[in-house]
Amino acid sequence: MGGLVSVQAEAGVHVVTIDNPPVNAFHPDVGEALLAAFDAIAAAQPPARAVVLTGAGRFFMAGGDIRHFQTLDEISAERYARRIQIIQEVIFHFPCPVIAAVNGSALGGGCELMMACDIRIAAVDALFGQPEVTLGIIPGAGGTQNLPRLVPVGTAKRLLFTGDRISAIEAQQIGLVDEVVATADLLPHAMALARRIAKNAPLAVSAAKQAINLGLELGLAEALRLETSLFAKLFRSRDVSEGVAAFLEKRPADFHGK
């Protein structure tokens, strides 16, 4: 991964850290390192049960590498955008939940990367924004599509049209992030949440993520059919027998994802 992204694993929880000093700016090499990291986690044994995505130092990801934009033309810009959108798709379809632990600034591509995650926790001093219009462009990694899916459409348009930065508190108020915690508590809090998720039946957690993410793109009737199918398929698993038995026997369940 070229040192730009590191992965650490602990009891089924994998921590992915972006490390591209000084501000963890997005560059194609960072994108390839992120894809390699998630590929490695997907192949891990035992399988990952939760992922925490964060940035090294004082930044989550302070946007794209502006110098790289100087090298792009229409054709290469389309390739660039499509490649970074693949990262969003990988996180969206990843079999276990991905939690963004947002330290410092998450601007431009950093905000888009955060929005692709299932749960977003921010440090109280974090900043958010999509400032692309101030550079003469628009978001290319899903910002125009994911932002209005998370916040009111009018609010999304205001942020995209002005390029304004907002605080973590405002981000929580509009629904862009789920929780705001003290900076020193950010990673411990995200890890505690990931461990709570990891204790549950992994096949069920994965099915819940799939039902929500795919269901939001469907009409209600079709989404309910998807939920029914996923619900029924889980009864093939040993984890259902274990979960029910543990409940009846008043003991903690020991799930194995089988």
Same domain, 106 and 191: yes
In a domain, 17, yes or no: yes
Same domain, 119 and 34: yes
- Contacts of 85-90 with CB under 8 Å at 24 or more apart are 85/140, 85/141, 85/142, 86/35, 87/31, 87/34, 87/35, 87/38, 87/113, 87/116, 87/141, 88/112, 88/113, 88/116, 88/141, 88/142, 88/146, 90/35, 90/38
CATH number at residue 228: 1.10.12.10
Residue 52: pLDDT over 80:
yes
Residue 37: pLDDT over 90:
yes
Count the domains in the chain.
2
The answer to whether 129 and 76 are in contact (CB under 8 A) is no
| Mean pLDDT on 160-164 | 98
| Mean pLDDT on 79-91 | 92
CATH number at residue 44: 3.90.226.10
What confidence tens digit (pLDDT) does each residue in 91-130 have?
Answer: 999 999 999 999 999 999 999 999 999 999 999 999 999 9
**Terminal Cα distance for the chain, rounded:** 31
Span of 44-58, 76-90, 169-183 with lowest mean pLDDT: 76-90
Residue 217: pLDDT over 90:
yes
> What residues make up the domain containing 156?
5-198
Q: Helix crossing, 202-215 with 238-248: angle to 10°? A: 110
Same domain, 63 and 118: yes
Confidence grade of residue 32 (pLDDT, cut at 50, 70, 90) = very high
Q: Indicate the average pLDDT of the chain.
A: 94
In a domain, 254, yes or no: no
Residue 1: pLDDT over 80:
no
pLDDT at site 50? 98
Confidence grade of residue 2 (pLDDT, cut at 50, 70, 90) = low
What confidence tens digit (pLDDT) does each residue in 196-211 have?
Answer: 999 999 999 999 999 9
Residue 258: pLDDT over 90:
no
Residue 68: pLDDT over 90:
no
Same domain, 224 and 189: no
Q: Considering the chain, what percentage of its residues have pLDDT values greater than 70?
A: 99
Same domain, 160 and 222: no
Span of 25-29, 113-117, 213-217, 221-225 with lowest mean pLDDT: 25-29
Same domain, 194 and 132: yes
Same domain, 159 and 109: yes
In a domain, 255, yes or no: no
C-alpha–C-alpha distance, residues 249 and 35, integer Å? 42
Same domain, 137 and 180: yes
Same domain, 184 and 224: no
Positions marked catalytic: 112, 132
pLDDT at site 246? 85
In a domain, 253, yes or no: no
| Mean pLDDT on 222-239 | 95
